[in-house]
Amino acid sequence: MGIEYLLIAAGIVILIAVLAQRRMLQKRLIENKEALAGIKLQDGITFEVGQVLKKTPRLKGDGTFKFKTLGCIPFANNFEEVRLARRIYFVDPTVVEVLLLPDPSNLERKLAVAVTLDSKVLGYVPTQEAGEMHKYLLAHSSGVRAMAKIYLGSRPEYNGVMLDFAKPLRLESKRISK
C-alpha cells in the first residue's frame, strides 16, 4: 500500500514540474515576441535595394533542405504577409530564395542570423550553422542568399522554413563557363 502513495506523489511532482516549465516557456515566448516586435524592417523592397540583393553571394546547397530555422512562431504575421504577397498556398512547400542577415540585437544569441524574405524576418538559422556562417556575413555586409522551402500552416506552429546548406558551408562560384 505504501508504494502506491509514493507513485502518486511522484506523478503529482512530475505534473507540477511540467506545468511550471510550460508556463515559464510561454512567458519567455511572450517576452521574446514583445522584444522582437521592435525590429524595424521595411515592408517592401525598392528597385535599387533589389539590385544590390541580386549581387549578394549565395550559399551552395545540396538539395536536402534539412536545416530547420528556429523561432518561427513569433513571426506568424510575417509568414501571413509573405503568403499573401507571393500567393503561397498551405498545401505545398514552396522553394524560395531567402536573405540571411546578422542580427546582433537578438536577445538569445549574439551570433544570431535572421532568415528574411521580402524584408520580413521568418526565423533564425540554427546556432551551429550561424556560428560558421558569420565569417561569410562579415565579408559580405549586404547578407548572403540561400535557397529554402517555406511551409505555411493553418496555425503559427505549423509555419517553418527549411534551409538548403551543403556542409561544409561555402559560397557558389560566380564563374560563368562558356
User: What backbone phi and psi angles, to 5 degrees, belong to 106?
Assistant: -65, 135
Least confident of 36-45, 57-66, 73-82, 142-151: 36-45
Residue with cell 556542409: 167
Answer for the pair 173, 156: CB distance below 8 angstroms, yes or no. no
Query: What pLDDT, on the 0 to 100 scale, is given for residue 43?
Result: 43
Whether the link from the prior residue into 168 is cis, omega within 30° of 0, is yes
- Name the residue with higher pLDDT: 168 or 31: 168
Domains and CATH numbers, the chain: 47-163 (3.30.70)
Residue-wise pLDDT tens digits, 97-120: 898 888 877 777 888 888 888 888
Does this model's pTM top 0.75? no
Q: How confident is the model at residue 153 (pLDDT cuts 50, 70, 90)?
A: confident
Whole-number Å distance between alpha carbons of 122 and 42: 14
Residues 6+ apart with CB under 8 A from 145: 53, 56, 57, 58, 59, 97, 98, 99, 100
